[in-house]
Amino acid sequence: MEKRITYHEQTDVKNTLKLREILKTLPPFCRDYFRALEATTTTKTRISYAYDIRVFFQYLLEENPTFKNRPMDQFTVDILDQLQVLDIEEYQEYLKVYQNQNKTTTNGERGLKRKMSSLRSFYAYYYKREMIETNPTLLVDMPKLHQKAITRLDADEVALLLDYIEHAGDELTGQKKVYYEKTKERDLALVTLLLGTGIRVSECVGLDVEDLDFKNNGIKVTRKGGGEMIVYFGSEVETALRRYLKARDNITPVVGHEHALFYSTQRKRLGVQAVENLVKKYASQITTTKKITPHKLRSTYGTALYQETGDIYLVADVLGHRDVNTTKKHYAAIDDSRRRKAASAVTLREK
């Protein structure tokens, strides 16, 4: 029997080939750094680092008088020792707004911090191996991140969203009605699964039908970083999945997509972008003040689980957070229900 190649294995192969192409656009000495990262990072993470480091060298070529217009393949590792703290600070300023292939790119706090973290890691590799003598990135302050309130659906909005997906076709006619009926069970199962387990959208689209276990009501997901874990679901998720599987039996998948749990209308594995689009489409009918994405559905689940159990370690485990402090920062903040009491606690004028 032919060995089943999982979505994540296929993605790793594609990412590995993509990374090789990106590395061809960087100075040759950079390859040592990315080879060293293999043991501790995913291919997706290494691609992000490669893009970030490429921006750094593009900055030197375009903005730094010393290196302007020098061919990329002529950069050697000693260039890192030629840069001072001021050069790194100027690069950080450059990152806020810059041109990339005739496209204007901007970075907020998180984008700045990620790119500066990539550069710090890059410098640290060569400094630790005594290939350079200085590390000016350590002397530049990292951008400060301001905590943002978690955007999530309230309990009544969750019910409204699922009800809408289930009955959105009641008012439709013609081709819109046909398309809705064709995707209804899939969309309901998918959104119910996201809301009922808190799995990431990448974990969701990577599911194969063989990953479902109705005996224990669990799904085997491949977590961020490559580890596998069984995530359990309740009766509402079970019902939605069973209904979808009946509809799925009528689909003849495209060759190479036979194992996928969720199919697109082209009979291929549903992609991340498609899931983001369908969540946005349905959620926009429920709330206009919240920008709801698959990640916000994950936040909705995490918040509800914490409010019901008060167990931050359980929430961290189920969501697949490596560091419980990440979970605490997001879900153990002051409860909205307490904050809302402030609205009626103070009287401005006596009645």
- What's the pLDDT tens digit per position in 209-221? 999 999 999 999 9
Architecture of domain 155-333: Orthogonal Bundle (1.10)
CB 313 within 8 A of CB 325: no
pLDDT of residue 326: 80
**Torsion-angle region of 39 (φ positive above 0: left; ψ -120 to 50: alpha; else: beta):** alpha
The predicted model scores a pTM of 0.84
Angle at 105 between CA 101 and CA 107, to 5 degrees: 150
Q: Which amino acid is at 213?
A: D
User: Average pLDDT for residues 171-188, to the nearest whole number?
Assistant: 92
Quickly name the fold that domain 7-139 has. DNA polymerase; domain 1 (1.10.150)
- Residue 181 in tokens: 């009926």
CA atoms of 248 and 185, how far apart (whole Å): 9
Query: Domain boundaries in the chain?
Result: 7-139, 155-333
Q: Which amino acid is at 153?
A: L
Q: How many CB atoms lie within 10 A of CB 151?
A: 15
Q: What's the gap between Cα 266 and its chain centre?
A: 24
pLDDT of residue 11: 92
User: Average pLDDT for residues 242-253, to the nearest whole number?
Assistant: 95
User: Helix, strand, coil % (nearest 5) of the chain?
Assistant: 60, 5, 35
Instruction: Kindly report which listed range (120-129, 167-176, 281-290, 340-349) carries the lowest average pLDDT score.
Output: 340-349
Could you give the percent of the chain with pLDDT greater than 90? 76
4-9, long-range: CB < 8 A, 24+ apart: 4/208, 4/210, 4/259, 6/206, 6/208, 6/222, 6/259, 7/205, 7/206, 7/207, 7/208, 7/260, 7/269, 8/206, 8/222, 8/226
pLDDT in tens, 300-349: 999 999 989 989 999 999 999 888 888 887 776 545 555 555 555 665 66
pLDDT in tens, 55-69: 999 999 999 999 988
pLDDT of residue 149: 75
CA atoms of 309 and 125, how far apart (whole Å): 43
